[in-house]
């Protein structure tokens, strides 16, 4: 885990965000290079924000919502999945790997599973390597 | 409203070509509500172009701006300065918006980012369907408010044809048979006798077939004229 | 008008007007410029029908033009019914083609909307549908009876005098509207009607009952469409894929029974000889069913004839017509060609 990777996790407050909190309370270890963004529901995932995260150099984006059937807003997690799939297609069109974005489903009690999800995502991204947009030299102009 | 759909990124990239400075112009009216070319879509397309061009080793400078309506001169005046600074404008307006930009900025190369599809409505979130063909001579009063010009695959005025099965069109099962809809509606309204009249050939001169159309309203024009 | 009481004087019109039970057949032109195909098919039909329909880019696949094939047919001594769809021609093209067809001796036209181009081999084409089939009937009738073009201008000189046909699909939807739509076509001036293929006689009897109630069977000649089944598979395919086709399960069972001696064996278990024998058994049963269908249709009041659609199987027409007791066909003395009103001395 020596490589410097930047992961963004968009987490629903009813499940993944609470699970991450619990993981912290339980002192569970998970890769430190993930930055958590709180969402009121995974259905609030904004495709543009996720895309801009990748443009700005994030290596991977995970979206974590409630278990299917358990969404506090009924179907927000299902809508999020559709958007993740759309983002994956969009990344491919741009020339990035679809695997840089992935959807996970958890409950608030699943602290260990949250830690496991972050590890899984990190391994997936480590295989892909850093976001190539980071390696491309910036424009010479200010 | 006018319903449009974004072109693929591949097509947009080809249209933008070698231009280095690109302005993506969204439109705040019809294409915003059909999620094809509003402010969000303009920002997404701009990011896509920046990322793709950077990955290809030839980064473009892409910015985006959205006007209330691309089809009115006064809104276009607001972006004149930005338009003047780029090599190409990628319009995410409908076909009218693209042409308005071309007409308003004679020295600007403008390309379309959308395919304008039809005049229609959202049946549900994410699903739109055609309703009007702008034939210029509305006959909805004869058909219970369901348009056979726009919604019958053969635009029949005395339908249905023999291809109507189980309520759908012979072209495919996704298309409801307009004449079945008309029949059902007139029946429920107790007006089936309307269908016994033979509708005469349509005057297509009032449609696009008569050449490009124009409306002049003298009561609305200003001043003494020319 | 010196039309000898006939609208067009075509053989089909004369057969029907003289009270004979009419027989029309169908000929699909080739997807090539090969006149020999028309001649070969014509030879199979000659003497066994009163007129032959020539399809117009059937199923939206480009074929030799109906009018071009009809001229070849006339040379072979058969009478054509040209089919004309609204899909490929606007009102200008329709009228000029009709003038040309009439000048070449063609006397029958069948007006139909036509299969949508998305079915055919040019699905990216733009369609026309300037007129619909009912408006086309009106136009052709007005060219003949009022001697005017669709725009209202008079036809100066010989007007085209066609025996005008239309189609109706009795079992397409909405079914309860179909007799009324037929009434509209007859009101528009259709002289004869050819129906979609009928297998379900009971359902057709119900349709005809409504037609008689409307009295329209007395205003136009209704020819019921028939087609011999080639195999049980074809029957099932038609039920599932062709709009407006009803085939009673009993008929499909009969077709299956005809192939029973070869049943239970896989496709590859049959020798080519066995496959041939099975096909022959199916075809014989298909022709038998067709003959029985015609005999039952003949009993229905208001049915003035049959239209036999033996698609790419023109050989079947002869045994069907003979088997149904409709051979030989009436030979009526040709009437002098009808003349234009203005051509009177």
Give per-residue pLDDT as tens, C211-241.
Answer: 999 999 999 999 999 999 999 999 999 999 9
Q: Is B163 at the interface with chain C, CB within 8 A?
A: yes
Give the full edge-to-edge strand order of the sheet including B127-132.
B2-6, B114-124, B127-132
Neighbours of chain B (3+ CB pairs under 8 A): A, C
Best probe of the C interface among B161, B187, B199, by most C CBs < 10 A, is B161
Best probe of the B interface among A93, A128, A142, by most B CBs < 10 A, is A93
Asked whether the beta carbons of C55 and C84 are under 8 A apart, the reply is no
The one-character DSSP state at C316 is G
- pLDDT score at C335: 63
Asked whether the beta carbons of B67 and B98 are under 8 A apart, the reply is no
Tens-place pLDDT, residues B107-138: 999 999 999 999 999 999 999 999 999 999 99
User: What is the mean pLDDT for each group of 10 consecutive residues in chain A (142 residues)?
Assistant: 83 96 94 95 97 97 96 96 97 97 96 96 96 70 42
Nearest 5°: CA angle at C158, between C152 and C159? 45
Which residues of chain A make contact with B61, given a CB cutoff of 8 A? 139
Q: Do chains A and B touch (3 or more CB pairs under 8 A)?
A: yes
Which of these, A18, A21, A60, lies nearest to A41 by C-alpha position?
Answer: A18
Nearest to A48 among B9, B43, B57 (CB): B43
pLDDT-derived band at C345, boundaries 50, 70, 90: very low
Mean pLDDT is lowest, of A73-77, B46-50, C50-54, C309-313, for C309-313
Give the 3-state secondary structure of chain B.
Answer: CEEEEECCHHHHHHHHCCCCEEEEEEECCHHHHCCCCCHHHHHHHHHHHHHHHHHCCCCCEEEEEEECCCCCHHHHHCCHHHHHCCCEEEECCCHHHHHHHHHHCCCCCEEECEEEEEEEEEEECCEEEEEECCCCCCCHHHCCCCCHHHHCCCCCCCCCCCCCECCECCCCCCCECHHHHHHHHHHHCCCHHHHHCCCCCCCHHHCHHHCCCCCCCHHHCCCCCC
Phi, psi (degrees; rounded to nearest 5) at B141: -70, -15
Length of chain C measured in residues = 345
**Section C200-207 average pLDDT:** 98
Nearest 5°: CA angle at C252, between C247 and C255? 135
**Section C243-259 average pLDDT:** 95
Q: Is C73 helix (H, G, I), strand (E, B) or coil?
A: helix
Q: Chain B 96-155, CB below 8 Å of chain C: which residues?
A: 153-155
Asked whether the beta carbons of C128 and C86 are under 8 A apart, the reply is yes
Asked whether the beta carbons of B152 and B178 are under 8 A apart, the reply is yes
> What global pTM score does this model have?
0.92
Which of these, C304, C324, C328, lies nearest to C17 by C-alpha position?
Answer: C304
Chain B nearest CA to C177, separation (Å): 8
Nearest to B55 among A47, A52, A132 (CB): A132
Which residues of chain B make contact with A52, given a CB cutoff of 8 A? 47
Chain C nearest CA to B150, separation (Å): 12
Alpha-carbon distance of C251 to B98, in angstroms, equals 60
Nearest to A94 among B51, B57, B61 (CB): B51
Q: Is there a contact between B165 and C196 if contact means CB atoms under 8 Å apart?
A: no
Asked whether the beta carbons of A19 and A108 are under 8 A apart, the reply is yes
% of chain B at pLDDT higher than 90? 98
Q: Do chains B and C touch (3 or more CB pairs under 8 A)?
A: yes
Which of these, C200, C202, C181, C182, lies nearest to C192 by C-alpha position?
Answer: C182
Nearest 5°: CA angle at C7, between C6 and C12? 75
């Amino acid at each position: 885990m020596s490589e410097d990777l930047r992961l963004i996790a968009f987490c629903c407050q009813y499940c993944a965000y609470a699970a991450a909190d619990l993981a912290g309370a339980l002192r569970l270890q998970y890769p430190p290079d993930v930055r958590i963004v709180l969402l009121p529901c995974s259905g609030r995932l904004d495709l543009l924000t996720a895309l801009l995260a990748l443009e700005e150099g994030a290596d991977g984006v995970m979206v974590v919502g409630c278990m299917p059937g358990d969404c506090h807003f009924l179907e927000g997690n299902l809508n999020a999945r559709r958007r993740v799939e759309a983002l994956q297609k969009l990344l491919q069109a741009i020339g990035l790997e679809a695997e840089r974005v992935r959807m996970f489903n958890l409950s608030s009690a699943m602290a260990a599973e949250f830690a496991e999800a972050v590890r899984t995502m990190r391994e997936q991204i480590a295989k892909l390597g850093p976001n190539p947009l980071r390696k491309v030299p910036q424009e010479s102009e200010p | 409203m006018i319903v449009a759909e974004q072109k693929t990124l591949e097509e947009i990239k080809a249209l933008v070509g070698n231009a280095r400075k690109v302005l993506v112009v969204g439109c705040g009216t019809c294409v915003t509500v059909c999620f094809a070319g509003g402010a969000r879509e303009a920002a997404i397309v701009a990011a896509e172009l920046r990322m793709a061009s950077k990955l290809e080793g030839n980064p473009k400078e892409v910015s985006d701006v959205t006007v209330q309506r691309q089809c009115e001169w006064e809104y276009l005046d607001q972006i004149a300065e930005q338009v003047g600074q780029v090599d190409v404008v990628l319009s995410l307006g409908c076909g009218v918006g693209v042409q308005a930009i071309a007409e308003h900025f004679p020295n600007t190369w403008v390309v379309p980012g959308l395919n304008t599809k039809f005049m229609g409505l959202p049946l549900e979130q994410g699903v739109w369907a055609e309703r009007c063909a702008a034939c210029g001579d509305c006959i909805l009063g004869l058909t219970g408010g369901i348009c056979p010009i726009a919604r019958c695959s053969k635009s029949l005025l005395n339908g249905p044809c023999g291809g109507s099965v189980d309520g759908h069109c012979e072209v495919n099962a996704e298309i409801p048979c307009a004449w079945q809809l008309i029949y059902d509606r007139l029946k429920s309204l107790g007006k089936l006798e309307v269908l016994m009249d033979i509708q005469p050939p349509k005057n297509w001169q009032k449609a696009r077939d008569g050449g490009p159309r124009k409306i002049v309203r003298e009561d609305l024009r200003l001043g003494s004229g020319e | 008008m010196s039309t000898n009481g006939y609208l067009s004087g075509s053989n089909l019109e004369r057969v029907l007007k003289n009270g004979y039970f009419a027989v029309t057949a169908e000929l699909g032109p080739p997807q090539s410029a090969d006149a020999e195909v028309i001649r070969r098919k014509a030879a199979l039909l000659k003497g066994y029908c009163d007129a032959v329909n020539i399809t117009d880019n059937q199923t939206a696949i480009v074929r030799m033009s109906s009018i071009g094939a009809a001229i070849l047919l006339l040379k072979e001594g058969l009478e054509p019914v040209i089919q004309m769809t609204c899909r490929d021609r606007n009102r200008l093209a329709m009228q000029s083609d009709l003038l040309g067809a009439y000048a070449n001796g063609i006397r029958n036209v069948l007006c139909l909307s036509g299969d949508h181009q998305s079915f055919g081999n040019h699905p990216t084409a733009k369609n026309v549908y300037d007129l619909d089939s009912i408006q086309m009937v009106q136009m052709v009738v007005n060219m003949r009876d009022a001697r005017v073009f669709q725009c209202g201008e008079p036809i100066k000189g010989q007007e085209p005098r066609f025996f005008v046909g239309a189609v109706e699909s009795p079992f397409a939807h909405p079914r309860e509207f179909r007799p009324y739509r037929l009434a509209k076509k007859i009101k528009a001036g259709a002289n004869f009607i050819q129906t979609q293929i009928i297998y379900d006689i009971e359902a057709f009897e119900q349709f005809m009952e409504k037609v008689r109630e409307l009295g329209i069977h007395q205003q136009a000649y209704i020819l019921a469409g028939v087609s011999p089944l080639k195999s049980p598979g074809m029957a099932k395919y038609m039920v599932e894929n062709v709009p407006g086709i009803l085939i009673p399960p009993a008929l499909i069972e009969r077709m299956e029974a005809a192939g029973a001696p070869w049943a239970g064996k896989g496709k590859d278990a049959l020798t080519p000889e066995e496959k041939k024998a099975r096909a022959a058994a199916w075809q014989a049963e298909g022709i038998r069913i067709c003959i029985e269908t015609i005999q039952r249709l003949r009993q229905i009041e208001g049915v003035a004839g049959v239209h036999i659609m033996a698609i790419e199987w023109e050989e079947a027409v002869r045994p069907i017509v003979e088997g149904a007791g409709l051979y030989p066909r009436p030979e009526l003395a040709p009437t002098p060609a009808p003349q234009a009103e203005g051509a009177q001395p």
